[in-house]
Amino acid sequence: MTVQRAPRQRAPRPDAPSKLSAGVRRIRDALDSRPLIDYTMIRSIVLFLAGLGVVMVMSSSMATSFAASASVWSLAARQFVMVVLGLIAFWAALKTPPERLRGLSNWLMIIAVLLLIAVLTPLGTGRAEVGSQSWLVAGPLRLQPSEFARVAISMWGAKILANKDPRRLSTPNNGFAAFLTVSIICVGLIAMQGDMGMALSLAVVVAFILLFAGVSLKAVGVVVASGLVALVVIFLSGSFRSDRFHVYFDALRGHFDDTQGIAFQSHQGFLSLADGHIFGVGLGQSRAKWFYLPEARNDFIFAVIGEELGLWGGALVITLFALLGFFGMRTALRAQTQYQTLMAASLTATVVSQAFINMAYVVGLLPVTGIQLPMLSAGGSSAVFTLGAMGVLASVARHEPDAISSMQNYGRPLFDRMFFIGEPRALKQRRPAPAAAPRRERYGTPVTQPVAAAYHGQPHRRTPRR
């Protein structure tokens, strides 16, 4: 009788990783092997965008500057000075440890609210020029408090929401109620100024901060739904802002009904992008800046970039902001504390979301909101506050645990040594309080026991009886 053996079953082979996942893993390993990569990339991208912004403002403002002051360099020189001030703010923030900013965040938020209120007084200006009373003017300086408020609420929100339980939103001392209250006040004050684009941008920043703090998607959805309701009200109001929605729908259809009226700016922006083709018409050779494209150096500077530098120039700007968002979020994930995590993530979302909103409405994907392209558009206070915020983000990146260890072992990079930026220090971990030592006893009777209770009124003895 022959016994038949059962066929031998082989263990299933694990699925081989796909080429995409293997490539992602190699990129991640390559980034992890360079502890200073976040700090280096954030610093390099910010400095490159600031330099490109000066060049593009100089190119796009020549005609306007000559018509206003008989000099083609006046607006460019002013922008250069403000960028230098912004780089000083970037350097000062880079030298400051992130934890030292905790105490300043309350004062920054108070100052931001006071400035937003001051704009609504006769001190504010801009209603006649651009339709929104958003600036404070002090001599040659023009300050836009809403730009400062976006940075302040990011830093203050990171402080009060760090290490808080997002499931207890209604608890008074949990921080969420105070944050939502102040956020609603700030958005309302900006909306009262007439700057609906900046109010929408601040609402987006608030939603991102709540999301990063761990609030449920349902609560964030309530904030987003409130913003959508406000947009519907604006659309049905019949004001000039509702006309922007009509222009937006015309752009989606590929046909503008009123190219000499409400659609003039968007139509000219499209023509500028189309003239650029792939390689552009050349730096300084834009035709749109000769009073064809309104706000060529401000809101629609991305159209001038596309015209002069072509498709590759526009793609370069988009890539740089995408990389800034990637390395900013990577910094948030690798930060030392949750406070630094929230601050890095919120500041990254503040700048990157504003950039993509601006580029989206220039190419017709969103209605025109009037917000600037960070670090590229002409603007004094915007350049200073944005570069200062990026300095805080870079400071968080250089205080990552791996970055601190690398600098302590191999020294600071050349940039830090050239600009006198000291070596970062790791946070000191607070040691738990030592447990109380047990009281010493002899023969079961504590030495420190009260005399009256131990010996029934007899005179005190230093040691128990034998």
The 10s digit of each residue's pLDDT in 2-56 is 556 656 666 565 555 677 888 888 888 888 889 899 999 999 999 999 999 999 9
Q: What is the mean pLDDT of residues 203-207?
A: 88
Count the neighbouring beta carbons within 10 Å of the beta carbon of residue 25. 11
pLDDT at 464 over 70: no
Q: How many residues does the chain have?
A: 466
Please, what is the average pLDDT of the chain? Answer: 82
Tokens of 293: 């494209």
pLDDT band at 163 (very low <50, low <70, confident <90, very high): confident
Distance of CA 113 to the CA centre of its chain: 19
Q: Report pTM.
A: 0.84
Highest mean pLDDT among 159-173, 241-255, 417-431, 446-460: 417-431
Residue 345's nearest CA partner among 228, 218, 214 is 214
3-state helix, strand, coil in the chain (%, to 5): 65, 5, 35
Q: Which tops the pLDDT comparison, 32 or 327?
A: 327
Q: What is the mean pLDDT of residues 189-206?
A: 85
**pLDDT for position 174:** 74
Q: Which tops the pLDDT comparison, 44 or 425?
A: 44
Task: Please provide residue 441's backbone torsions phi and psi, each rounded to the nearest 5 degrees.
Answer: -130, 150
**pLDDT for position 320:** 97
Q: What is the mean pLDDT of residues 388-410?
A: 94
> Phi-psi region for residue 463, left (φ > 0), alpha (ψ -120 to 50) or beta?
beta
Q: Which tops the pLDDT comparison, 418 or 261?
A: 418
- Residue pair 156/111 in contact by the 8 Å Cβ criterion: no
Tokens of 28: 């991640």
pLDDT band at 430 (very low <50, low <70, confident <90, very high): low
Q: What is the mean pLDDT of residues 174-198?
A: 86
Tokens of 439: 């009281």
Count the neighbouring beta carbons within 10 Å of the beta carbon of residue 236. 10
pLDDT band at 254 (very low <50, low <70, confident <90, very high): low
pLDDT at 91 over 90: yes
pLDDT at 115 over 70: yes
Q: What is the mean pLDDT of residues 372-378?
A: 91
Q: How far apart are CA 140 and CA 463, in angstroms?
A: 84
